[in-house]
């Protein structure tokens, strides 16, 4: 019988939840759910200098927003806590001392500044900057005596000779020559563990069966495997998830755009879309299907479809995917999201926003054009202003049409009278005008669109007219016609 799956996400609280971290969390979550296992959240906060509180909040908030609920960890508790490494210092010190007593680790009294110089000198000679084992050469008596005297020391792990291999869940067999590994410090002078050591001690204490993490950790894995062996423990399985690159093929960073999960949230990305998008960063189902709910992902996710090759973070694809989810939402939910966005940005205030029924009609008219709430104003800003200022390019186009002004005036007169002021009669009047002028409907509709919205792209013109209402429509059409006449270079008629 294999033991039940236990995986973990182990962020260092360094600022916010990066999309790379969120992808790692998601894959762990999916793997746990799929195997009826446990998803553990462990906070690797042994670096005291950082503002852990705020960063922790960012991580918990990001994970919760994505719906990646952890079974054990901060807030959730669990039988293998505490889940903050800063509260587990004793266990690292104990394990390090054990290795020391067994001769698998040794005290290092080297001065950090000195070490730095030696490392730099090695690099300058073109050698790997490995620790030169100065303190390994101390006799036991010398080492004990210095410790007894109170000399500060770190504890270093003695990397054995040979090589280290493992069957990676993603990459297959991976082998490192131990000669390339350093005798790493496992416990610092201040009794704090280093990442590799704390991770091993905790992954064992928390009974982690599968370590799925970014492949920037791949060179840590042989060190960790050696530590497991030295501690007499069986290592978990490892799977290294491919790196995430920006669209230009360099490592994803702020240069490319947003990278924190909460920034995407604040920019109107839906959690369902974010999860779906993250799932496809390094994993694919059949190379075709791309839309999956988190429940579906739990069914179809598998580690053997995780790619070894880097994944590209395509912002346009995320935008498209968000559109797929956004459009599928009920109208009232879309209106809620638009209202929340407009409110939070202060883009629209007061009475305009409070007219909920109107907002809903506007959202409905914008329809599929909108892929996220912030695009609402692109298609609807003219509904919320007294006067539109047409954009220069469409206006120039109108000016170039000598008959535009007259048609706008005629349309204004028709719409002033049309009864009832509803979609179909409005459409009939507009098309009737085009027919009587012997032109295509577009020759009336396009000028009207520019006059009413200031743009060449908008929701359906009859919806726009209805939303503006009779008075504002007529007023805008006439105003545009007058302006055209005034500005037209060829005032022939
Ligand atoms: N705290 C490490 C990080 O944030 C965890 C790496 C691991 O999963 O072992 O990169």
Q: How far is the centre of ligand 1, averaged over its atoms, from the C-alpha of 18 (Å)?
A: 12
- Residue 379 in any domain: the answer is yes
What's the pLDDT score for residue 493?
46
**Ligand 1 contacts CB of residue 35 (under 6 A):** no
Shared domain for 294 and 271, answered yes or no, is yes
Q: How far is the centre of ligand 1, averaged over its atoms, from the C-alpha of 342 (Å)?
A: 37
Domain with residue 283: its CATH number is 1.10.1160.10
The structure tokens 């969390």 sit at: 25
Shared domain for 410 and 459, answered yes or no, is yes
**Ligand 1 contacts CB of residue 206 (under 6 A):** no
Shared domain for 437 and 475, answered yes or no, is yes
What's the pLDDT score for residue 53?
87
**Ligand 1 contacts CB of residue 44 (under 6 A):** yes
Shared domain for 412 and 462, answered yes or no, is yes
Give the Cα separation of 418 and 411 in Å (integer). 10
Give the atom of ligand 1 at the shortest distance from the alpha carbon of 14: 4
Specify the residue with its C-alpha closest to ligand 1, atom 10. Answer: 11
Give the Cα separation of 5 and 34 in Å (integer). 9
* Residues annotated in a binding site for ATP: 254
**Ligand 1 contacts CB of residue 215 (under 6 A):** no
**Ligand 1 contacts CB of residue 210 (under 6 A):** no
What's the pLDDT score for residue 347?
80
Question: Which of 14, 46, 199 has most ligand 1 atoms within 8 Å of its beta carbon, as the pocket-test mutant?
Answer: 199
- Residue 216 in any domain: the answer is no
Domain with residue 452: its CATH number is 1.10.10.350
Shared domain for 402 and 485, answered yes or no, is yes
Last residue of a domain, one of 305, 328, 351: 328
Q: Cis peptide leading into 420, omega within 30 of 0?
A: yes
Shared domain for 353 and 397, answered yes or no, is no
- Residue 380 in any domain: the answer is yes
**Ligand 1 contacts CB of residue 275 (under 6 A):** no
**Ligand 1 contacts CB of residue 199 (under 6 A):** yes
Q: Is 116 a catalytic residue?
A: no
**Ligand 1 contacts CB of residue 217 (under 6 A):** yes
Q: Which of 140, 254, 349, 456 is catalytic?
A: 254
Q: How far is the centre of ligand 1, averaged over its atoms, from the C-alpha of 446 (Å)?
A: 57
**Ligand 1 contacts CB of residue 235 (under 6 A):** no
Q: How far is the centre of ligand 1, averaged over its atoms, from the C-alpha of 212 (Å)?
A: 10
What's the pLDDT score for residue 14?
83
Specify the residue with its C-alpha closest to ligand 1, atom 6. Answer: 10
Instruction: Report the predicted TM-score, pTM, of the whole model to 2 decimal places.
Output: 0.89
What's the pLDDT score for residue 354?
78
Question: Which of 6, 11, 55 has most ligand 1 atoms within 8 Å of its beta carbon, as the pocket-test mutant?
Answer: 11
* Residues annotated in a binding site: 254
Domain holding 367, by residue range, is 343-384
Specify the residue with its C-alpha closest to ligand 1, atom 5. Answer: 10
- Residue 480 in any domain: the answer is yes
What's the pLDDT score for residue 1?
55
Give the atom of ligand 1 at the shortest distance from the alpha carbon of 211: 8
Q: What is the mean pLDDT of each run of 10 residues along the chain (493 residues)?
A: 89 92 98 96 85 88 97 97 96 98 97 91 88 95 97 97 98 97 95 97 98 97 98 98 95 90 93 98 94 96 95 96 96 94 82 85 95 92 91 93 94 97 97 96 96 95 96 97 86 48
- Residue 442 in any domain: the answer is yes
Give the atom of ligand 1 at the shortest distance from the alpha carbon of 199: 9
Shared domain for 347 and 406, answered yes or no, is no
Shared domain for 373 and 447, answered yes or no, is no
Pick from 351, 350, 322: nearest CA to 337: 322
Count of the separate structural domains present in the chain: 3
- Residue 193 in any domain: the answer is no
- Residue 288 in any domain: the answer is yes
What's the pLDDT score for residue 490?
57
- Residue 264 in any domain: the answer is yes
Give the atom of ligand 1 at the shortest distance from the alpha carbon of 44: 1
Q: How far is the centre of ligand 1, averaged over its atoms, from the C-alpha of 418 (Å)?
A: 68
CB 304 within 8 A of CB 296: no
């Amino acid at each position: 019988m294999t033991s039940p799956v236990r995986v973990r996400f182990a962020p260092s609280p360094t600022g916010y939840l990066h999309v790379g971290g969120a992808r790692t969390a998601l894959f762990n979550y999916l793997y746990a759910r799929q195997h009826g296992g446990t998803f553990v959240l462990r906070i690797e906060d042994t670096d005291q200098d950082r503002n852990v509180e705020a960063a922790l909040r960012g991580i918990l908030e990001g994970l919760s927003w994505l719906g990646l609920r952890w079974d054990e960890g901060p807030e959730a508790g669990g039988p293998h806590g505490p889940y903050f490494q800063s509260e587990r210092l004793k266990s690292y010190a104990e394990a390090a001392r054990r290795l020391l007593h067994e001769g698998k680790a040794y005290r290092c009294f080297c001065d950090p500044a000195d070490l730095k110089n030696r490392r730099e000198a090695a690099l300058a000679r073109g050698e790997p900057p490995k620790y030169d084992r100065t303190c390994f050469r101390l006799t036991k008596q010398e080492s004990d005596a210095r410790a007894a005297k109170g000399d500060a020391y770190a504890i270093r792990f003695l990397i054995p000779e040979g090589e280290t291999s493992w069957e990676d869940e993603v990459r297959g067999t991976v082998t490192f020559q131990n000669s390339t590994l350093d005798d790493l410090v496992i416990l610092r002078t201040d009794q704090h563990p280093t990442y590799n050591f704390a991770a091993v001690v905790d992954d064992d204490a928390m009974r982690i069966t599968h370590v799925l993490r970014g492949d920037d950790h791949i060179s840590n894995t042989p060190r960790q495997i050696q530590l497991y062996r030295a501690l007499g423990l069986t290592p978990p399985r490892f799977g290294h998830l491919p790196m995430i690159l920006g669209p230009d093929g360099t490592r994803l960073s702020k240069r490319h755009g947003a990278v924190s999960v909460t920034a995407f949230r604040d920019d109107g990305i839906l959690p369902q879309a974010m999860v779906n998008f993250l799932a496809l960063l390094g994993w694919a189902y059949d190379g075709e299907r791309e839309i999956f709910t988190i429940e579906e992902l739990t069914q179809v996710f598998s580690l053997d479809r995780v790619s070894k090759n880097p994944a590209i973070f395509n912002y346009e694809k995320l935008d498209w995917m968000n559109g797929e989810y956004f459009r599928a939402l009920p109208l009232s939910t879309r209106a809620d999201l638009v209202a929340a966005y407009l409110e939070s940005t202060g883009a629209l205030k007061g009475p305009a926003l409070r007219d909920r029924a109107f907002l809903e009609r506007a959202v409905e008219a914008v329809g599929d054009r909108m892929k996220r709430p912030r695009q609402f104003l692109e298609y609807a800003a003219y509904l919320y202003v007294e006067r539109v200022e047409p954009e220069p390019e469409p206006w120039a186009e109108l000016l170039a049409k000598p008959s535009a002004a007259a048609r706008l005036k005629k349309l204004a007169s028709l719409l002033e009278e049309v009864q009832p002021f509803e979609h179909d009669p409005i459409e009939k009047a507009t098309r009737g005008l085009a027919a009587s002028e012997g032109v295509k409907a577009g020759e009336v509709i396009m000028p009207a669109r520019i006059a009413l919205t200031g743009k060449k792209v908008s929701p359906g013109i009859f919806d726009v007219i209805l939303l503006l209402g009779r008075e504002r429509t007529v007023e805008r059409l006439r105003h545009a016609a007058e302006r055209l006449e005034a500005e037209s270079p060829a005032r022939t008629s």
